[in-house]
Amino acid sequence: MAYRFKRSESPRVGFRRIAGEQIAKALAELNNAELGQAAKVHQVRKRLKKLRALLWLVRPGLGKQYRRLDTVFRDLGRELSVARDAEVRLVTADAVVDGSREQEVQSLLATVNTLLKFDRNQVINTDAAMDGILESVGRELEAARLSIEQTPLKKIPAKGLLKRYLKIYKRSRKGLDTLAIHSSDDDWHQWRKALKHYWYQTLLLEGLWPAMMRARARELRRLTEWLGQDHDRALLRQFLEKEEFIDRNGAGYEILLALIDEERRELKCRSLILGSRICAEPVSAYRRRLATYWRLWKD
2-19 pLDDT, tens digit each: 899 999 998 999 999 999
Amino acid in position 230: D
- d(Cα 7, Cα 3) in Å, to the nearest integer? 13
User: Helix (H, G, I), strand (E, B), or coil: what is residue 31?
Assistant: coil
Residue 46 lies in a domain: yes
- d(Cα 64, Cα 66) in Å, to the nearest integer? 5
Residue 1 lies in a domain: no
Residue 110 lies in a domain: yes
* CB atoms near residue 188 (< 10 Å): 21
Residues 6+ apart with CB under 8 A from 58: 11, 12, 15, 156, 160, 161, 164
- Please, what's the largest Cα pairwise distance for the chain? 68
- Which residues form the domain of 198? 11-298
Residue 156 lies in a domain: yes
User: How many domains, in total, are found in the chain?
Assistant: 1
How does pLDDT run along the chain (299 residues), one tens digit per residue? 689 999 999 899 999 999 999 999 999 999 999 998 889 999 999 999 999 999 999 998 898 899 999 999 999 999 998 888 888 888 899 899 886 777 888 888 888 989 888 887 777 666 778 889 999 999 999 999 999 998 888 888 888 899 999 999 999 999 999 999 988 999 999 999 999 999 999 999 999 999 999 999 999 999 999 999 999 999 999 999 998 888 888 888 999 999 999 999 999 999 999 999 999 999 999 999 999 999 999 87
- d(Cα 69, Cα 23) in Å, to the nearest integer? 13
Produce one character per residue of 74-87: b if its CB has 16 or more CB atoms within 10 Å, e if not: eebbebbeebbbbb
Residue 4 lies in a domain: no
Among 21, 4, 70, 13, residue whose Cα is nearest residue 217: 4
Residue 6 lies in a domain: no
DSSP string, 103-148: HHHHHHHHHHHHHHHHHHHHHS-SHHHHHHHHHHHHHHHHHHHHHH
Residue 224 lies in a domain: yes
pLDDT tens, position by position, 124-147 = 666 778 889 999 999 999 999 999
pLDDT tens, position by position, 51-79 = 999 999 999 889 889 999 999 999 999 99
- CATH number of the domain residue 177 falls in: 1.40.20.10
Amino acid in position 152: P
CA distances from 201 to 41, 123, 165, 276 (A): 22, 33, 7, 19
